[in-house]
Chains A and B, each alone.
Chain A
């Protein structure tokens, strides 16, 4: 029997997840040795027809990163799903929508208006906006459909496992690869990271007072951040308590609060709402006007609480546009 076939694909993403694969360093050699890569557009020259020519389920595992926001991405995700035994949603965008998912606060029209017409750096006197179909002399050109809404991978296809993170850290990737190669797999649908909140391993936990109480919310650029003290205790929004552990506190160690890229634990359906609840609860104020004042001091609450998870949230997107 040949080596197991593996595919990598990227959808709406920044490329960081591809870097993460390369970040395996020497370990990548082990992976390459153990598997046969059949598709990896960013690194190797394969064509879509190569995938199409494979039998259904012939690919052992496809790692798909990025959210789904265009017709082409949806098409490729569905194709890979058909050809693969396992699909792993790789990274925050595939898992919970990620940063591209923040576009769900607007719609296609607004995005196009800004990107092609109104952004100050534009020079588009003809007010040309991309069209799905354009007639040129040699025939019809097509572009993938740009959706109003950004989707997580599992809203489009069936996903077997999730590797969370922006981007997933090398140790979790290696663990996942090893589990897949050895066939020692957890229950379908599992997120391949610890199922506890980030605070569990956060070094700053020891500085957090038992009775957390916040009287003012501050933004990171407004204060000198104490590199050892719990962010929330400093009045800085840190999504750590509502975010799955396993990242190795990369942001925290760089003195930046958690923004929630690992998504929630398995017991929470809406990461942003749950964080909102926790944060509001520890605002130490009972006077309604003061409560409003403090809540209003959070500039963009939905944007902060759903920094990575908007498409995976209960409401998924702005409803009135």
Chain B
């Protein structure tokens, strides 16, 4: 599995299921275990980011970053930062509650 496998549907599914943020972490560009899956992820991410914004999901709730298996510190940094960002934004209006007919 690879960031290249990330179907934008997964991200939307997570938001739909109540996630307040989605963080995608992959191998650095040029270092993809599967050659260039991360470039495909990068392309999808930038378009998806625009789309979720139109859905009223704050940009901070969706993030893509590159962390290699040896970058423990960066991993912690990115996670901590993401958690802080999402906490600041608060819970995402859960789709299920808002979408009862009526």
A positions within 8 Å CB-CB of B: 68, 71, 74, 105, 145, 147, 149, 151, 155-156, 268-270, 272-274, 276-277, 279-281, 283, 285-286, 288, 291-292, 295-296, 298, 300-303, 305, 313-321
Contact of A277 with B16 in the complex, beta carbons under 8 Å: no
| Min CB–CB distance A99 → chain B (angstroms) | 17
Q: Which of the listed residues A268, A274, A302 has the most CB atoms from chain B within 10 Å of its own CB? A: A302
Contact of A273 with B56 in the complex, beta carbons under 8 Å: no
Our count of residue pairs bridging A and B at CB distance below 8 angstroms stands at 116
Q: Which of A71, A292, A303, A315 touches B12 (beta carbons < 8 Å)? A: A315
Q: Which size bracket describes the interface of B in this complex?
A: 20 to 34
Looking across the interface, which residue of chain B has its beta carbon closest to that of A74? B101
Q: Which of B3-51 contact A (CB under 8 A)?
A: 7-9, 11-13, 15-16, 29, 36, 39-40, 42-44, 46-48, 50-51
Report Cα–Cα, A288/B99, bound state, in Å.
36
Report Cα–Cα, A276/B52, bound state, in Å.
12
Per DSSP, chain B at the interface is helix
Report Cα–Cα, A7/B7, bound state, in Å.
41
B positions within 8 Å CB-CB of A: 7-9, 11-13, 15-16, 29, 36, 39-40, 42-44, 46-48, 50-52, 54-58, 92-93, 95, 98-99, 101-102
Query: What 6 additional pairs, Cβ within 8 angstroms, besides A273-B11, A286-B42?
Result: A71-B102, A273-B51, A276-B51, A281-B44, A298-B47, A316-B95
Report Cα–Cα, A270/B12, bound state, in Å.
9
- Please, which residues of chain B bring their CB within 8 A of the CB of A74? 101-102
Report Cα–Cα, A178/B58, bound state, in Å.
49
Contact of A301 with B9 in the complex, beta carbons under 8 Å: no
| Min CB–CB distance B81 → chain A (angstroms) | 19
- Please, which residues of chain A bring their CB within 8 A of the CB of B9? 268-270, 273-274, 277, 314
User: What are 9 A-B interface contacts by the 8 Å CB criterion?
Assistant: A155-B99, A273-B48, A280-B48, A286-B36, A286-B39, A295-B43, A303-B54, A317-B95, A317-B98
Looking across the interface, which residue of chain B has its beta carbon closest to that of A305? B51
Contact of A277 with B92 in the complex, beta carbons under 8 Å: no
Q: From known contacts A283-B43, A315-B16, A319-B92, infer whether A274 and B101 are also in contact, taking CB-CB under 8 Å.
A: no
Q: Which of A68, A272, A305, A319 touches B101 (beta carbons < 8 Å)? A: A68
Report Cα–Cα, A126/B57, bound state, in Å.
36
Looking across the interface, which residue of chain A has its beta carbon closest to that of B40? A281
Contact of A276 with B8 in the complex, beta carbons under 8 Å: yes
Contact of A273 with B12 in the complex, beta carbons under 8 Å: yes
Q: Which of the listed residues B9, B15, B51 has the most CB atoms from chain A within 10 Å of its own CB? A: B51
- Please, which residues of chain A bring their CB within 8 A of the CB of B54? 105, 300-303, 318
Contact of B47 with A279 in the complex, beta carbons under 8 Å: yes
| Min CB–CB distance B23 → chain A (angstroms) | 18
Q: Which of the listed residues B36, B39, B55 has the most CB atoms from chain A within 10 Å of its own CB? A: B55
Looking across the interface, which residue of chain B has its beta carbon closest to that of A71? B102
Contact of B43 with A285 in the complex, beta carbons under 8 Å: yes
Contact of A318 with B8 in the complex, beta carbons under 8 Å: no
Q: From known contacts A276-B48, A280-B47, A301-B51, infer whether A319 and B13 are also in contact, taking CB-CB under 8 Å.
A: no
Report Cα–Cα, A298/B46, bound state, in Å.
11
Report Cα–Cα, A320/B11, bound state, in Å.
18
Q: Which of A151, A291, A321 touches B43 (beta carbons < 8 Å)? A: A291
Report Cα–Cα, A314/B22, bound state, in Å.
15
- Please, which residues of chain B bring their CB within 8 A of the CB of A318? 54-56
Report Cα–Cα, A321/B48, bound state, in Å.
20
Q: Which of B13, B29, B46 touches A292 (beta carbons < 8 Å)? A: B46
Contact of A274 with B8 in the complex, beta carbons under 8 Å: yes
| Min CB–CB distance A243 → chain B (angstroms) | 16
Report Cα–Cα, A279/B54, bound state, in Å.
18
Contact of A319 with B43 in the complex, beta carbons under 8 Å: no
